[in-house]
Structure 1
């Protein structure tokens, strides 16, 4: 009676060991796949930008593409202010957030009476 119980316990622990070994490998594969997908999407954005597009650099600067010269992108960040960046520094296209409420309105904010 005890030998059958011992055999069942041993085969169950063997399957658990295999699962413990496979789980990190599966996790690593998923992480590598998602990183590759993000990298490819970033390359597509960097390759598709054109003059006049509003972009955000990887450092967070927002500007309009004024010129493209091979790997160098010139951004106009303010009227008459142009900054040169490597094309690889372009992180995404700029999409301003839609207004959400009274805090987005211009003008004085009523603080109320204290």
Structure 2
């Protein structure tokens, strides 16, 4: 009976140790990407360009806007922002034509339905819910 809890404790410790090892490896690869000119995000969600990093004093200088620099603790830099490239080339073209087929364009139908409903209301043809609302006022 005593063996089962000890085995479970050992498995838990092994999984925790493995998770910490993977997290340390991710942090190390992120730290190697911290070079001046890299786009980064801090833990507070501030985006900026890394201007300088002082590993001895743990200070990173970020340019958050042209001419505006801020100094933060180097451990507050959470991620290095990678430039994203779309999977398909269709978003790279400057195609301004309307790609919506006529069968999907329902704006005229919706406007016609609204106008018909509005005309019914003006003619005094109200449904039961609207009559109740009028009585409650």
Q: TM-score, normalised by structure 1?
A: 0.60
Look up the match of 2:64: 77
1:99, distance to aligned residue in structure 2 (A): 5.8
Q: What whole-Å deviation, never above 9, does each CA across 1:53-110 have from its counterpart, x for those lacking one? A: 111222222211112235211111122221111212222211255569xxxxxxxxxx
RMSD across aligned positions (CA): 3.4
Distance 1:77 1:85, change over 3 A: same
Q: What whole-Å deviation, never above 9, does each CA across 1:7-60 have from its counterpart, x for those lacking one? A: xxxxxxx5xx52343123212221122113212421342254111011122222
Stretches of structure 1 lacking an aligned partner (at least 5 in a row): 1-13, 101-111
Does 2:77 align with 1:90? Answer: yes
Stretches of structure 2 lacking an aligned partner (at least 5 in a row): 88-105, 111-137
Larger Rg over CA atoms: 2
Matches within 5 A, 1:32-43: 32-43=17-28
Look up the match of 1:58: 43
Q: Which structure's relative contact order is higher, taking Cα pairs within 8 Å and 6+ residues apart?
A: 1
Task: State how far apart, in whole Å, the 2-side matches of 1:95 and 1:46 are.
Answer: 14
Q: TM-score, normalised by structure 2?
A: 0.52
Q: How many residues align?
A: 97
Task: State how far apart, in whole Å, the 2-side matches of 1:96 and 1:24 are.
Answer: 43
